[in-house]
Chains A and B, each alone.
Chain A
Amino acid sequence: MTFIKPLNHHPKLEKNNLGLTRRDYEGAVSSLCAGCGHDSISASIIESCFNLNIESYKVAKLSGIGCSSKAPAYFLNQSHGFNSVHGRMPSVATGANCANRDLLYLGVSGDGDSASIGIGQFIHAIRRQVNMVYIIENNGTYGLTKGQFSATNDLDSKNKYGDDNLFKPIDLATMAIQLGATYVARSFSGDREQLIPLIMGAMQHKGFALLDIISPCVTFNNHAASTKSYDYIREHNEAVGKTDFVPLGEEIKTSYDEGTSVEVNLHDGSKLSLEKTDKNFDPCDAGKSLNFMREKEKEGKVLTGLLYADSTAKDLIETLNMTETPLNQLDQDLICPGSKILDLINKDLS
């Protein structure tokens, strides 16, 4: 009897530029329910880090409380991690980001953690443009406390026991665009082909990148009357287009009809190329994008894909003019320059 993943792997498993396999980016075996969408997102994060040749020790995983916030234990077990108080992950991320800009900050949160208890923190992290990837594993339910409605649950949806949801949902993606997030995407844990390029894009983006990922809760919110079930999302999913991640130095090989493709430049020189399904959609224009999202919502569709991107905005540490060297690498003399310098400063002030 075991549910421990055996150590051996396929001898022909692909290796990345660092000589690592996907397995090297794994974490502990998940203790989430079998079939949980969160596990699929973890696997997509693993795949993205593998593809981007990311060194695990240059990543910090941050989370709050909830099923989603347990997930960082199940990937990148060589990375830094901080499991914060419920809803307080954005503050920890903000502080860490100011202290050390060299790490990739990967916040993993859920609909409860971000849309209820932590919504204030969520809003301000966006407002301040913390340079991080903020993943919301959105299942519309409080899985860890036996399936109550969360704030992202749709009005027409019922819970597992047949009760109606009486309140309108908060749309975190729309909210993020309004608040000034510079990379906003929605995706579905069951569609890795779409999800992985979006995560890779978010990781290479400078500024606040929000990924609202619908992630079915197999135990409490995967029933026939749910609007966040595998079946419902597969039926109502409408992608804004096909996104491809184009690594630095590679050409975009596919040629698209004029007006149907958009390129988004990323911080390290790589690109996201989007082949749009609708000419009216423009992910570079926040206003148009919000309108398009509203239209699709009215049609009863779940719009997924890259919804908004702006690669020119300033992030928090630029705004604050923070030191480029991480604080933990600064010499004592620089951090505490002594009473003579203090006197000079004081003189300036007087």
Chain B
Amino acid sequence: MKDKKYLFKRNSTWWVKVAVPKSLRNEFGFDLRQTTGESDLQNALKHRDKIVKNLKSRFTKDSNEFALPSDKLLEKTDISDPQYFHKVVDCQYACPAHTNVPEYIRLIAQRKYTDAYMLNWESNVFPGILGRVCDRPCEPACRRGRTHDKAVAICRLKRVTYDNKGDVEIYLPEVPSEKNGKKIALIGGGPASLTVARDLLPLGYECTIFEKDHKPGGLMRTNIPSFRLPEDVLDEEIYRVVEMGATLKTNSYIDKLNPLLKEFDSVFVGTGAPKGKDLNISGRNRGSKNIHIGIDWLTSIAFEHVKKIGKKVIVIGGGNTAMDCCRSAIRLGAKDVKVTVRSPYSQMKASEWEIEETQEEGIPILDNTSPKEFLYDDKGKLCGMKFEKMKQIEIDGKKKMRPTGEEVIFECDDVLLAIGQENAFPWIEKDIGIEFGEWEMPIVDKLTMQSTHPKVFFGGDSAWGPENIIWAVAHGHQAAISIDNFCSGISLKERPDPMTNLVSQKMGIHEWSYDNDISQAQRYVVPHAEMSKSLKDLKTEVELGFDEEMALEEAQRCLNCDMQTVFEDDLCIECDACVDICPTDCINFIDNDTEEKIRDKLRVPAINLDQSLYVSGKLKTGRRMVKDEDMCVHCGLCAERCPTGAWDIKKNSYKESNTLSKRIKAKEVA
């Protein structure tokens, strides 16, 4: 897997995205983005570091923690900043909703599945769904990928919490029967709206969800095939939210916003990016009923309007929708399915694991193949497609796709177009105060999710284009805080702080509250259903999930990164015991210098600039303890070997605030 850190692809161009530390989000929003101007990953990588540095420099003035090497001598690390240790927990930090991953993995290890599920539910609302189809930004971030070989199967462990949980109803937050009199309209029944509803209902808000289809769920329901996400999982988690007391209006397509603005105190728009792109090449105008827009076709399958497809099918596109389309086509009875991608294989947009599964099912992916013409037989029926072979060439250091002149023709009965999605807001009146910017996208505040109309908030794909479910959830949480502030007359910029705690885990001699024995096991592979069966049925789930034995073993692979090594300067006698015992040579006692020089002088040079150095104050000999957080396996042996207790292992609990915790805090203060 190529290192795609900071990079994401939008409209075939690689962009750099840098997360903004929570404390600075008031000023900068969730993240800063800049295009690399490159369509090729290799080239984008060349620009990445410079852009990252640039973007980071915008918010480093006030925050040492993120400063890149400078001429300044290193200063003592401020561990009272909740972001310092949060950043050490790579998975939690990478998750848009900041789910406390190590904690729920420990709960799994203790076989407390219901607790683990609820911990997830509180932060990401759809653990069963996300445990199957999350984009998993946590896994590339996982420390285990650096210290060992592969990341912990975090996403699959999340599914384990769903599969093994008991009754959760008793743990759900109480929803007051007496309402607070504020009415909120939620347009679109997808993950963003459902998250807003879940966050606002317990506060006494009256939430009404408007869903255009006859069942809520948005793209989670319509675009993710059942063989990846079974309907009962969807229904359970979606209706759990609805049944908390939301008013659900299905088959209610909203075609005007203005009436809602009059009827409701606030409106949240979570309508996704529902428009599939079309392919305007020769022959498209003949309007064959055998050419389908991928996401619409998937929707028709989900609602059982489509039950069959031709024998020969071509899928055009290299993203996850293309993968879902071809795999669905096989299950509907197609015998010859192929995927064509314009770019080289290595630059496909689809997630690695989805490409893998597609190939395992025997579906060929033809790269460097660009569609040129739809072909028809004498009777005017679609019979094939002409493609042009492409090759990548470099012009001025930029990689571009150019036709080779070679043409190929593939026979087909049906074509599925999966070449991207767009937002569409034909239903928002142009004169009610909602401004649209580039690409017809609404102008939305990065922090508050508020549009240019104070009452209207956006979230999920409808805010900034196609992302994934976990981002929609994160947006939903923030929008709910904003709506609550808005309805309570509090400034939207007043965001609740995260709830943090740092507590020693020492239980006795050689005794810690967590299992500090580092498992050296390799990542466990999730078992799959027998292909002969799963390929014949749209509803047979392909992944079977870990059984309990595997789950418990996989859980042991977690390095417990929230178990922080905390250093107390005054207690240290500089005996070097920690330096010697550290299995990954993280700890150093060294004379102070600039960050750049210190990074170079450590026992093992700290070349991963994304990872912080933990620096002590001046010690008795004038040196400083400098720990490179990069490779720490959180085994606690430094604290184990420390004669004076200068090192301790403290659990850093970090909980991103949502409206629920905000209220609890307010009560405590009162």
Q: Name the interface size band of chain A.
A: 20 to 34
Report if B5 contacts A (CB, 8 A).
no
- Assess the B583–A34 pair: CB atoms within 8 A: no
Whole-angstrom CA separation of A179 from B518 in the bound complex: 51
Report if A10 contacts B (CB, 8 A).
yes
Q: List 26 A-B contacts (CB under 8 A).
A: A1-B510, A1-B511, A1-B515, A2-B517, A3-B637, A5-B583, A8-B148, A9-B584, A9-B585, A10-B604, A11-B146, A11-B147, A34-B640, A34-B643, A35-B573, A35-B643, A36-B575, A39-B575, A39-B577, A43-B576, A43-B579, A190-B574, A190-B576, A192-B576, A216-B575, A230-B573
- Assess the B641–A35 pair: CB atoms within 8 A: yes
- Assess the B604–A14 pair: CB atoms within 8 A: yes
Known A-B contacts: A7-B583, A8-B148, A8-B518. Give 9 more (CB < 8 A). Answer: A2-B516, A11-B147, A13-B604, A34-B642, A35-B643, A40-B576, A190-B574, A216-B575, A231-B620
Interface readout for B566-593 with A: 1 if CB under 8 Å, 0 if not?
0000000111110111011110000000
Q: Number of residues in B with C-beta < 8 Å to the partner? A: 37
Report if B339 contacts A (CB, 8 A).
no
Report if B177 contacts A (CB, 8 A).
no
- Assess the B641–A34 pair: CB atoms within 8 A: yes
What A residues does B573 contact at CB under 8 A?
35, 218, 222, 230-231
Whole-angstrom CA separation of A43 from B587 in the bound complex: 14
Report if A253 contacts B (CB, 8 A).
no
Nearest to A23 among chain B residues (CB) is B583
Closest 6 CB pairs of A and B: A35-B643, A6-B518, A2-B517, A43-B580, A35-B575, A10-B584
Q: How far is the CB of A194 from chain B (nearest CB, A)?
A: 12
Q: How far is the CB of A160 from chain B (nearest CB, A)?
A: 14
Whole-angstrom CA separation of A216 from B146 in the bound complex: 37
State the main secondary structure of chain B at its contact with A.
Answer: loop
Q: How far is the CB of B260 from chain A (nearest CB, A)?
A: 56
Report if B283 contacts A (CB, 8 A).
no
Report if A152 contacts B (CB, 8 A).
no
Nearest to B148 among chain A residues (CB) is A8
Q: How far is the CB of A201 from chain B (nearest CB, A)?
A: 21
- Assess the A37–B147 pair: CB atoms within 8 A: no
- Assess the A8–B580 pair: CB atoms within 8 A: no
Whole-angstrom CA separation of A174 from B604 in the bound complex: 39
What A residues does B584 contact at CB under 8 A?
8-10
Report if B80 contacts A (CB, 8 A).
no
Query: Which of A8, A11, A42: most chain B Cβ within 10 A?
Result: A8
- Assess the B585–A10 pair: CB atoms within 8 A: yes
| Known A1-B517, A4-B517: A40·B147 in contact at CB below 8 Å | no
Report if B532 contacts A (CB, 8 A).
no
Whole-angstrom CA separation of A17 from B367 in the bound complex: 45
- Assess the B574–A230 pair: CB atoms within 8 A: yes
What B residues does A189 contact at CB under 8 A?
575
Q: How far is the CB of B625 from chain A (nearest CB, A)?
A: 14
Q: How far is the CB of B65 from chain A (nearest CB, A)?
A: 23
Report if B432 contacts A (CB, 8 A).
no
Q: Which of A213-270 contact B (CB under 8 A)?
A: 216, 218, 222, 230-231, 234
Whole-angstrom CA separation of A189 from B580 in the bound complex: 13
Query: Which of B146, B511, B520, B583: most chain A Cβ within 10 A?
Result: B583
Whole-angstrom CA separation of A222 from B644 in the bound complex: 11
Whole-angstrom CA separation of A12 from B643 in the bound complex: 29
- Assess the A6–B583 pair: CB atoms within 8 A: yes
- Assess the B585–A13 pair: CB atoms within 8 A: yes
- Assess the B580–A42 pair: CB atoms within 8 A: yes
Q: Which of B629-657 contact A (CB under 8 A)?
A: 631, 633, 635, 637, 640-644
- Assess the B580–A39 pair: CB atoms within 8 A: yes
What A residues does B586 contact at CB under 8 A?
10
- Assess the B579–A234 pair: CB atoms within 8 A: no
Nearest to B517 among chain A residues (CB) is A2
Report if A29 contacts B (CB, 8 A).
yes
- Assess the B604–A6 pair: CB atoms within 8 A: no
Query: Which of A1, A4, A192: most chain B Cβ within 10 A?
Result: A1
- Assess the B575–A37 pair: CB atoms within 8 A: yes
| Known A231-B620, A234-B621: A34·B577 in contact at CB below 8 Å | yes
Whole-angstrom CA separation of A199 from B570 in the bound complex: 31
Report if A33 contacts B (CB, 8 A).
yes
Q: How far is the CB of B640 from chain A (nearest CB, A)?
A: 5
What B residues does A1 contact at CB under 8 A?
510-512, 515-517
Whole-angstrom CA separation of A33 from B160 in the bound complex: 42
Nearest to B512 among chain A residues (CB) is A1
Q: Which of B470-527 contact A (CB under 8 A)?
A: 510-512, 515-518, 520
